[in-house]
């Protein structure tokens, strides 16, 4: 059967089970969009390419399947860059397709030409420029394989216009053969034996679990390990939800805005069991003083992560779920000891707290938690103070329920990501927590939400500032609020109504719960503008580069 490149593109998406793609058309993509017109694949037209890639990211995090996005050449392609970098930093499987000028025009500064493979080389797991239609199907198959195996990540496929119009006799490609690419999933038994000995001998173990636990679906194994060892568990931002937030062994997040008891515990542990986490600088604080008295076990599918930031005594390369399953059979149950007593003392002495009066953002987020805890709710955040309060005050009980930009810290991520989650699960509740600064970075996607009846609920913590930057100016620059006051903010209620969504403004403490309940009952997109106190700060806080024990607040 002879098919054009555009038709092959559609056939390949179907073969990989793609049911939804997020995109924005352009001239070089006309053949692909014409082929999509009759295809049984849902295309969601966002209002900006950045919205498309973040939506694909949210879809991927919620489902565990690769998210797919499509953009035209030149500015369309470059508008994907932030979202691709965001997915790369957080190890999210995305396959991004971009249109390109014809092969003969490559390298000639042609209209809407950009070297997108060169631009994205450092922020993709791999990328391709397809110059011949005969290479298209096998390239797409490789792209999905690379994006989803080993440590997941974004892969970009750039397709010139003439490749989409050329036709060949189409045959489905065979199995993928990539010499040199062979992710290790099974850890060596010798490594596991040494790890088990170290765990069995430890007196003060702590589990430090990251996003790799969520990716591999190892939350049950993580819980078994913690309960067998009676070991406290602290999550990274990306790992939240991998361990029940209401479990007695849970310490919450650690690091810059982690709990005091998590930071004290990791400083005093004699063994850190790091699982699918990467010891980033927001977790470790000052590296020279980080957990000096502890041996370190590091389990990760990516060997490049092991030893990158922190010295490791027991490296284990392998899939987290496979590794923990095998490890559980090698370790001995521990009995209660002074370690658990010490942990409980820290939790009692240093709880998360704030002055609980007025319109505090922590109060609003705690109300969100109270009113959604019994629902199968999915929550996204943008980046800033609201993100840290969400990480601190939400009780996240299940994996793939909390989605946030961890590594890159991308303002503008949360709303379009929520659309991707809602597209994946149309019947579920999806709630995005945002700031007045973050929400305006992709506010145009309100049109997408309304157009496709994606009934996400957005809760804006509106403090009239770029709050986290203002907090640093407050603490370290004598309150010289240079360019962080958001003067000229729009009326978010009217903005929502103008797009066809529902807008609500909440200014009083007693209005918070009724507003949330009303919004959750409305089967349409809702924007809740919570006008909160302007100069509230996120505490605890470890100043950048300080020791984890040197916490403010």
pLDDT digits (tens, 9 = 90+) for 283-326: 999 998 999 899 999 999 999 999 999 999 999 999 999 999 99
- 15, 112, 428, 524: which one is catalytic? 112
CA–CA gap between residue 253 and residue 234 (Å, rounded): 6
- 125, 161, 347, 360: which one is catalytic? 161
| 49 labelled catalytic | yes
CB 437 within 8 A of CB 466: yes
pLDDT digits (tens, 9 = 90+) for 156-169: 999 999 999 999 99
Q: Which of 412, 384, 363, 381 is closest to 516 using CA atoms?
A: 363
Q: Which two tokens stand for residue 338?
A: 């002074």
| 468 labelled catalytic | yes
Nearest 5°: phi and psi at 75? -65, -30
CB 238 within 8 A of CB 215: no
| 510 labelled catalytic | no
Sheet containing 42-45, strands listed edge to edge, beginning at the edge strand earlier in sequence: 42-45, 20-24, 67-71, 94-100, 154-160, 126-129
CB 472 within 8 A of CB 541: no
Residue reference for tokens 């515990």: 265
CA–CA gap between residue 308 and residue 279 (Å, rounded): 8
Residuewise pLDDT in 10s, the chain (553 residues)? 899 999 999 999 999 999 999 999 999 999 999 999 999 999 999 999 999 999 999 999 999 999 999 999 999 999 999 999 999 999 999 999 999 999 999 999 999 999 999 999 999 999 999 999 999 999 999 999 999 999 999 999 999 999 999 999 999 999 999 999 999 999 999 999 999 999 999 999 999 999 999 999 999 999 999 999 999 999 999 999 999 999 999 999 999 999 999 999 999 999 999 999 999 999 999 998 999 899 999 999 999 999 999 999 999 999 999 999 999 999 999 999 999 999 999 999 999 999 999 999 999 999 999 999 988 899 999 999 999 999 999 999 999 999 999 999 999 999 999 999 999 999 999 999 999 999 999 999 999 999 999 999 999 999 999 999 999 999 999 999 999 999 999 999 999 999 999 999 999 999 999 999 999 999 999 999 999 999 999 999 999 989 999 999 9
CB 532: neighbour CB atoms within 10 A? 28
CA–CA gap between residue 493 and residue 527 (Å, rounded): 7
Give residue 10's pLDDT. 98
β-pairing, 233-235 vs 167-169, is unpaired
CB 143 within 8 A of CB 176: no
CA–CA gap between residue 33 and residue 377 (Å, rounded): 34
Give residue 1's pLDDT. 84
Contacts of 50 (CB under 8 A, 6+ apart): 79, 80, 82, 83, 412, 416, 442
Q: What is the CA radius of gyration of the chain?
A: 24
Question: Taking the complete model, does pTM exceed 0.85, yes or no?
Answer: yes
CB 98: neighbour CB atoms within 10 A? 28
- 411, 441, 461, 468: which one is catalytic? 468
β-pairing, 502-506 vs 205-209, is unpaired
- 14, 111, 508, 518: which one is catalytic? 111
- 9, 11, 22, 49: which one is catalytic? 49
* DSSP code per residue over 206-270: EEEE-HHHHHHT-HHHHHHHHHHHT--EEE-TTTTTSS-TTSTTEEEE-STTS-HHHHHHHHH-S
CB 102 within 8 A of CB 73: no
Q: What is the DSSP letter of 332?
A: P
Angle at 135 between CA 130 and CA 137, to 5 degrees: 105
**Where is 501: in which H helix or E strand?**
none
* DSSP code per residue over 2-45: EEEHHHHHHHHHHHTT--EEEEE--GGGHHHHHHHHTSSSEEEE
CA–CA gap between residue 487 and residue 501 (Å, rounded): 24
């Amino acid at each position: 059967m002879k098919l054009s490149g555009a038709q092959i593109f559609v056939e390949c998406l179907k073969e990989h089970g793609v049911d939804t793609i997020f995109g924005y058309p352009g001239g070089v993509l006309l053949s692909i969009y014409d082929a999509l017109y009759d295809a049984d694949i849902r295309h969601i037209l966002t209002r900006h390419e950045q919205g498309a890639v973040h939506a694909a990211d949210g879809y991927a995090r919620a489902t565990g399947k690769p998210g797919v996005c499509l953009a035209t050449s030149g500015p369309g392609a470059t508008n994907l860059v932030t979202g691709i970098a965001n997915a790369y930093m957080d190890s999210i499987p995305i396959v991004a397709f971009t249109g390109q000028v014809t092969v003969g025009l490559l390298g000639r500064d042609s209209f809407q030409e950009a070297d997108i493979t060169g631009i994205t080389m450092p922020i993709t797991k791999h990328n391709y420029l397809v110059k011949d239609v005969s290479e298209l199907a096998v390239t797409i198959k490789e792209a999905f394989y690379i994006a989803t195996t080993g440590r997941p990540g974004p892969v970009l496929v750039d397709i010139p216009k003439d490749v989409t119009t050329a036709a060949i006799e189409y045959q489905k490609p065979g199995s993928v053969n990539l010499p040199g690419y062979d992710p290790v999933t099974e850890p060596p038994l010798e490594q596991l034996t040494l790890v088990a000995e170290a765990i069995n001998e430890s007196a003060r173990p702590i589990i430090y679990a990251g996003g790799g636990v969520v990716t591999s679906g190892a939350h049950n194994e993580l819980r078994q390990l913690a309960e067998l060892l009676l070991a406290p568990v602290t999550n990274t931002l990306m790992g939240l939800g991998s361990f029940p937030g209401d479990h007695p062994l849970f310490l919450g997040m650690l690091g810059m805005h982690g709990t005091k008891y998590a930071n004290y515990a990791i400083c005093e542990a004699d063994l850190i069991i790091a699982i699918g986490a990467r010891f980033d600088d927001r977790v470790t604080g000052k590296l020279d003083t980080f957990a000096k008295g502890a041996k370190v076990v590091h389990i990760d599918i990516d060997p490049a992560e092991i030893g990158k930031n922190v010295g490791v005594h027991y490296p284990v390369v392998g899939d987290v779920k496979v590794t923990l399953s095998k490890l559980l059979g090698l370790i001995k149950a521990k009995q209660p000891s002074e370690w658990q007593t010490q942990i409980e003392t820290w939790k009692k002495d240093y709880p998360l707290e704030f002055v609980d009066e007025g319109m505090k953002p922590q109060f609003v987020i705690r109300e969100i938690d109270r009113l959604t805890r019994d629902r199968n709710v999915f929550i996204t955040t943008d980046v800033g103070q609201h993100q840290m309060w969400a990480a601190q005050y939400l009780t996240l009980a299940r994996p793939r329920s909390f989605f946030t930009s961890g590594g890159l810290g991308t303002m503008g991520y949360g709303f379009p990501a929520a659309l991707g989650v809602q597209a994946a699960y149309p019947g579920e509740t999806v709630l995005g927590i945002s700031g007045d600064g973050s929400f305006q970075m992709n506010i145009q996607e309100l049109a997408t939400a309304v157009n496709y009846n994606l009934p996400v609920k957005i809760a804006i913590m509106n403090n009239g500032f770029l709050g986290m930057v203002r907090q640093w100016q407050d603490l370290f620059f004598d309150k010289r609020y240079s360019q962080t006051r958001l003067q000229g903010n729009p009326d978010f209620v009217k903005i929502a109504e103008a797009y066809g969504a529902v807008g609500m403004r909440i200014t009083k403490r007693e209005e918070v719960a009724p507003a949330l309940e009303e919004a959750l009952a409305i089967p349409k997109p809702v924007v809740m503008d919570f006008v909160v106190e302007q100069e509230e700060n996120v505490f605890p806080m470890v100043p950048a580069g300080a020791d984890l024990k040197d916490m403010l607040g």
